[in-house]
Amino acid sequence: MSQKHPVIAVTGSSGAGTSTVKASFEHIFRRERLNVAVVEGDSFHRYDRESMKRAVEESEKGGGRPISHFGPEANEFEKLETLFRTYGESGSGETRLYLHNEEEAKPYNQKPGTFTPWKTIAPGTNLLFYEGLHGGVKSDTADVGQYVDLLVGVVPIVNLEWIQKIYRDTAARGYSCEAVTHTILRRMHDYVHYITPQFSRTHVNFQRVPTVDTSNPFIARDIPALDESMVVIRFRDYHGADFFPYLLSMLNGSFMSRPNTIVVPGGKMGMAIELILTPLILDLVAKSKK
């Protein structure tokens, strides 16, 4: 961890609501006029799209344990750890982009599903902001989270996560429900060992809990809206307890469920993020300037 060049990471699986959190961070960065080095988690996958398909097929031969984007076999954990460490030391490091679609790939004259060349982060940024799957991951060969100054977890209850995965992949990507279910099962080992442990290392967790029935995610026809949810916010360090009355007064309908946990209506999630994280980010930036 570095006080001179702070690293902030938002970690959570795809469809978990990290995009909502990312938008809230963007509001904070723009409002506070911060120059931020943005790093996307997909940039540190090991394989491009076509190579990943072949790698998955090869791993499943003979009944072996399949690889997934959740685990170390399909990711560059060591390079991500190196980026966080070198940025903390020098304010720079090597990163790249993963081009998801035609729109992203066109400016680079590349195919979708490929990576841009590695590039050095320009000097002069206030902090590094990572959003992806592995901001706090720890494996046999890397401990990424040790270099993160503010680690934020974004995780819905697992049934909601599956509903979002199934809905997105069937509606937007044309997969069958059976194919998506196979993917969920294929990734389960890596999810248990490399995704969920991160949420015990976070400084703040935002967990979305639906208030509608999600007991069978494999037959759900729509995703519960934010207004049909509550958000459980857990703080690792809650010694500044005078902060909670302020949050409760600002977030109508919120309440405390434990000494380190506040529950807010789902529609207030964006506001809660900005109220909670803005002072933490400004504190990191202030310390970096001393």
For position 9, what pLDDT does the model report? Answer: 96
| Tens-digit pLDDT profile for residues 89-121 | 999 999 999 999 999 999 999 999 999 999 999
58 vs 53, 65, 72, 113, 175, CA distance in Å? 9, 10, 16, 19, 21
pLDDT for the residue 61: 86
Mean pLDDT for the chain overall = 91
Residue 137 is given by DSSP the state -
Helix (H) or strand (E) holding 283: helix 269-289
Spatial distance between the Cα atoms of 43 and 132, rounded to a whole number of angstroms: 9
Report the pLDDT value the prediction gives residue 290, as an integer from 0 to 100. 76
Contact 39, 130 (CB under 8 A): yes
- Phi and psi for 235 in degrees, rounded to 5? -105, 130
**pLDDT score, position 167:** 85
Q: Kindly report the pTM of this predicted structure.
A: 0.93
Task: Report the pLDDT value the prediction gives residue 169, as an integer from 0 to 100.
Answer: 83
Sheet holding 150-156, edge to edge: 36-40, 127-132, 7-11, 150-156, 204-210, 229-235, 261-265, 255-258
Burial class of 187 by CB neighbour count within 10 A (0 to 12, 13 to 18, 19+): buried
pLDDT at 223: 87
Homologous superfamily of 7-289? P-loop containing nucleotide triphosphate hydrolases (3.40.50.300)
- pLDDT single digits (tens) 41-70: 999 999 999 999 999 999 988 777 899 999
Collect all residues with Cβ–Cβ distance below 8 Å to 32 and sequence separation of at least 6: 278, 281, 282, 285
- Alpha carbon distances (Å) from 114 to 29, 99, 156, 166, 182: 29, 6, 29, 24, 24
**Among residues 99, 123, 165, 132, which one has the least CA distance to residue 10?**
132
The pLDDT value recorded for residue 16 is 56
**What is the pLDDT tens value at each position of the chain, 290 positions in all?**
567 899 999 998 765 566 677 788 899 999 999 999 999 999 999 999 999 999 999 998 877 789 999 999 999 999 999 999 999 999 999 999 999 999 999 999 999 999 999 999 999 999 999 999 999 999 999 999 999 999 999 988 999 989 988 888 887 777 888 888 988 999 999 999 999 999 999 999 999 999 999 999 988 878 888 899 999 999 998 665 567 888 999 999 999 999 899 999 999 998 999 999 999 999 999 999 87
